[in-house]
Amino acid sequence: MLNQGVSNGVNKIAQYLNEHLLGEVSCDDSTRQRFSRDGSILKIVPELIAHPRVTNDIRKVARFSWQLAEKGHVLPITVRGGGSNTTGAAIGKGIIVNTVAHLNNIIFISHKNKDQFVHVQPGVNFLSLNDTLKSHGMIIPSYPTSSAYSTIGGAVASNSGGVYSGMYGLTGDWVMRLEAVLANGDLIETTRINKHELSKKKGLQTFEGEIYRKIDGIIEDNQQMISDKISNNEPDNTGYTGIAKVKKRDGSFDLTPLLLGSQGTLAMISEIVLKTNYYSSDKSIIVAAFDNSEVAHDTADSIASLKPDVLEVFDGRIFDLAHEYGKKYVFSEQYLDRKVGSIIYVSFNDFSNHARNRKMKNALKKLSKVETTVYTNEDYSNDELNVVREVGSVINQPNGKDESRPSIIDGISIPSARREEFIVAVDELATKHHTTLPLHIQWLSGVINTRPILNLHIVSDKQKTFKLISDYIELVVKYGGSMSADSGEGRLRATACYAQLDDDEIDVYTQIRDAFDPFGILNPGVKQKSDLKTLVSQLNPDHNMGDFAQYSPVD
């Protein structure tokens, strides 16, 4: 609850903004509590929630906050989509800008063969967008597993990935241009511009011109470091690694890569133009059950050469848990009397029946050479096989009282050459922390997810949470991996991630942020170091995924 003096001040701000916005601004306790949570284990109660109806509403909120900051009063702004973010990037003090209420329109779809794209507002639900595109024979193929309850704006801001990212890249790889609101309320459009156009931008006597001048200067002053340390970090959304893609050798310049994965800390995305791909509804699927996990991993390496659209490897302990919950799968009868080793899920979505059949034949030939049991959609329905990928919806809510299985270390990636070493090291780490960390690996991209069971009501588990994050991130770096491969680090993992960066990298990221947000208005605490005491105070002991329980975690 706000004290009376603060409450009166907030009410006056809400009233002022309501007078000037087409959308609505609210500060009642129930709404503030609802927007204090996202998909993470953290909780921060905002002061106000703005529901902008048009882009100009976002600009007015930013301008108001900027003017306050100029007078020494910082009223932070956090842009929010569906609230599915698991790193604490969709919550914050000050004003929450909720894009879902009104900024949820598909503006235009281009069907031209050589120029297929879609123009959308940030609050559009990702799954709904793809369902609409599929009716036109198109799709944005790289989308997060939370697409049923997340927004395209959130996916772009976090540069999210998913099970198709090994084949199609991250969401940001499909972005052609962005419209964004700067911290002072100015509106910019980002796309690649040539040297002459860059010169004109740098000549502007505006905040936009200042940003172009500063970012170009940062690149000029740090070319060697960016080349040596940041360019080699792909795919990694930690910090602002997009700086390596801003300026090309031909002198062309694009701020878009900086905004991708910036999680609303540099600007607020108001419109997005994305490329689309052709959509194929035909799929050939294989599920293979292995007693021996090492054999499964070797087989996955072999099948990867066939270029499937999806190749996932599940630690069998995940299905052991699902079996304890009573869940059954096509392979469950095989494991009535013993534990599951590993499960591989493979799919091919080539348009050509001949190509799909050839790949399936080769995959089955590889599988016939090892000890495994194979299930295909010749004998089982796609639904019976696809349910394997949705095992998370069964086990993510533990039965134990006050327990949760939060996403605190999901989304790292490990190169294939170091993966086996990493898997062994993770088991040792789990033993150290008295937990289990069964891995779900998106084999083509190397992205790895795992969720420990925690009771955030217990002091020891609160402390374990951040120690586990720190130790896990340290392992990722040790084995040459990416700390934030399919999303930004947010506020939950920022401290652990930044501890692994050199001072000159952190300095460049700080300069970038200061160039866009000199007053610290935009999502403070996200993509920044925080002290442990602050993070512990923000822990939500009642964390659960109940807000998203009605959705499947997979498309």
- Verify that 163 and 300 share a domain, yes or no: no
- For range 500-512, the mean pLDDT: 97
Into how many domains does the chain fold? 2
* 3-class SS shares of the chain: helix, strand, coil, % to 5: 40, 15, 40
The per-residue pLDDT for 468 is: 97
Q: What is the pLDDT of residues 3-41, one digit of tens each?
A: 555 567 789 999 999 999 999 999 999 999 999 999 999
pLDDT digits (tens, 9 = 90+) for 342-390: 999 999 999 999 999 999 999 999 999 999 999 999 999 999 999 999 9
| 169 and 299 belong to one structural domain | no
- Whole-model pTM? 0.94
Ramachandran angles phi, psi of 338, nearest 5°: -155, 170
Q: Say whether both 120 and 219 belong to one domain.
A: yes
Tell whether 247 and 124 lie within a shared domain: yes
Question: 48 or 147: whose pLDDT is higher?
Answer: 48
Assess whether pLDDT exceeds 50 at residue 51: yes
Q: Are 450 and 475 in contact (CB under 8 A)?
A: no
How does pLDDT run across 179-236, given as a tens digit for each residue? Answer: 999 999 999 999 999 999 999 999 999 999 999 999 999 999 999 999 999 997 778 9
Q: Tell me, what's the pLDDT at 403?
A: 84
Q: Which bin fits 263, alpha (ψ -120 to 50), beta or left (φ > 0)? A: left
Domain boundary, last residue among 329, 344, 376: 376
Same domain for 254 and 178, yes or no, is yes
Which residue has better confidence, 428 or 545? 428
Q: Both 240 and 116 in a single domain?
A: yes
Give the domain-ending residue among 376, 407, 432. 376
Tell me, what's the pLDDT at 544? 75
Question: 270: domain range?
Answer: 106-278
pLDDT at position 402 is: 79
The four Cα atoms 14, 18, 20, 24 give a dihedral, to 10 degrees, of 120
Asked if pLDDT for residue 454 goes beyond 70, the answer is yes
Q: How confident is the model at residue 1 (pLDDT cuts 50, 70, 90)?
A: very low
* CATH for 174: 3.30.465.10
Over residues 277-319, the pLDDT tens digits come to: 999 989 999 999 999 999 999 999 999 999 999 999 999 999 9
Longest dimension (CA), the chain: 74
* Proportion of the chain above pLDDT 70, given as a percent: 96
Report residue 553's pLDDT band, with 50, 70 and 90 as the boundaries. Answer: low
One domain for residues 126 and 274: yes
Q: Are residues 181 and 116 in the same domain?
A: yes
In the block, tokens 């340290």 appear at 474
Asked if residue 226 and residue 127 are part of one domain, the reply reads yes
- Closest by CA to 133, choosing from 350, 279, 351, is 279
pLDDT at 335 over 50: yes
Of 352, 376, 400, at which residue does a domain stop?
A: 376
Of 68-72, 125-129, 218-222, 530-534, the one with minimum mean pLDDT is: 530-534
pLDDT tens-digit map of 110-128? 988 788 999 999 999 999 9
For tokens 């505006």, the residue is 206
The per-residue pLDDT of the chain, averaged, comes to 94
Q: What angle do CA 328, 332, 333 make, to 5 degrees?
A: 120
